[in-house]
Structure 1
Amino acid sequence: MWVVKIGGSLSRDPLLKEWLQHLSEFGGGRVVIVPGGGEFADQAREHQAVWRFDDVAAHNMAVLGMAQYALMMQGLCRRLVIAATDAQIREALRAGRVAVWAPLDLLFQEPNRLTTWDVSSDSLAAWLANRLNAERLVIVKSCEVEPACTIEAYATQGIVDRSFAGFTRDAPYPVDIVNRNDGSRVRDRLLHATAD
């Protein structure tokens, strides 16, 4: 199973529909999409800056932003299945579908290692990939991505969050950080993996 995180920066990008089409057509039973927070999560940041509420509330608002993006993705591609829990994800995959994670089980009352701005949807995607024993983690970004970079270098450049390296350090799966224009390459890799 692959976990594919689609950045919130693609929420207004015409390529979003292409990504969803490729994944729904060729990833049935094998792909879980993690939506980024994007502008939905930015609203949490902006309101926290005004009102100075704690990071637990801001984290929960950002998680709800990811859920909103998940609903938008399903609205664009009805073949996708919204899944909030591990059981719902596995049920969708067993049915040969592609799950879109709406991480409502990550709403917390107390602070923990996930309730900080150092943990973005990138790290949450890695957290989910670890939890589900994924075969591969793909992070789709709008910015330019240098393929030869290390995860630490991506974090230094702000391409992934500061906690991402910790979540992927001992990962038994490959981590691909790709540009939004790499959809056909990811599709071909997914097809090749299916044929193996």
Structure 2
Amino acid sequence: MWVVKIGGSLCADPMLPHWLDLLARLGGGRVTIVAGGGVFSDEVRRIQSHWQFGDLAAHNMAVLAMAQFAYQLHAINPTLQLAKRKSEIPQVLHRGQTALWLPFELQRDQLDSRTNWAATSDTIALDLARQLNAEHLVMVKSCAIDPALSLDQLGQAGVLDESFAERSRGAAFPIDVMHKTELGRMRAMLLGGPPFPLRAA
């Protein structure tokens, strides 16, 4: 099973429907999509900065931002099957469908290690991949990506969240960071092409 995180920066990108079509057609039974926060999360950051409220409320609002983008993805491609809890994902995959996770269960009543901006939807996708014993984790981004950079360097460059590389150490699956234009590469992988290159942390 693969977890594919669609970056929120693709929210209004013309490539977005092509990614969703590919994952729906070739990912049935083995792909779970995690939606980023995109402009919805940006608005949470802006409002928090304006009103100076704490990270607990901002975290819960950011989870809802991810859910908003997930609903947008589903509206664009309704063949994706919404999963309201992690426990529903195996059932969706068993039916041969591509799962689209709604992360409502990540809302919190108290602060913890994930209720801050150091752990964004990137880390949430990593957490989900670990919890589901995924075989691969793919992060789809719209910014330029140097394939020679390690996960640490991608975090320093702002491509991934700042805690991602450290939290990914020891992951039992390869992690690949792909540009939105690498649709052909993803298609080849889903059709059984060569293994993902494993980036150094």
Report how far residue 87 of structure 1 moved: 1.5
Name structure 1 gaps, 5 residues minimum: none
- Map 1:69-84 to 2 at 5 A: 69-84=69-84
Q: CA-to-partner distance for each residue in 1:103-159, whole Å, 9 max, x for gaps?
A: 000000101111010011111000100110000000000001111211000011010
Match of 1:22 in 2: 22
* Higher helix content, 1 or 2: 1
Moved over 4 A (4+): none
For 1:27, the aligned partner's letter is: G
> What does the per-residue CA deviation read over 1:3-53, in whole Å, with 9 as the maximum and x for residues that have no partner?
000000000001000000000000001000000000011111011001111
Counterpart-to-counterpart distance in 1, 2:124 and 2:84: 13
Deviation at 1:168, TM superposition (A): 1.1
Matched ranges for 1:1-196 at <5 A: 1-192=1-192
Unaligned runs of 5+ in 2: 194-201
Cα distance in structure 2, aligned partners of 1:94 and 1:36: 25
Identical columns (%): 45
Code of the aligned partner of 2:62:
A
**Following the alignment from structure 2 to structure 1, what is the Cα–Cα distance between the partners of residues 42 and 176?**
25
Q: Please provide the CA RMSD for this pair.
A: 0.8
- The offset of 1:166, in angstroms, is 2.3
CA drift at 1:57? 0.6
Rounded Cα–Cα distance in structure 1 between residues aligned with 2:166 and 2:98: 27
Cα deviation for residue 84 of structure 1 reads 2.2
| Cα distance in structure 1, aligned partners of 2:91 and 2:60 | 25
CA displacement at 1:163 relative to structure 2: 1.0
- Aligned-partner residue type, residue 161 of structure 1: D
TM-score for the superposition, normalised by structure 1? 0.97
Equivalent AA in structure 1 for residue 141 of structure 2: K
**Paired positions, count:** 193
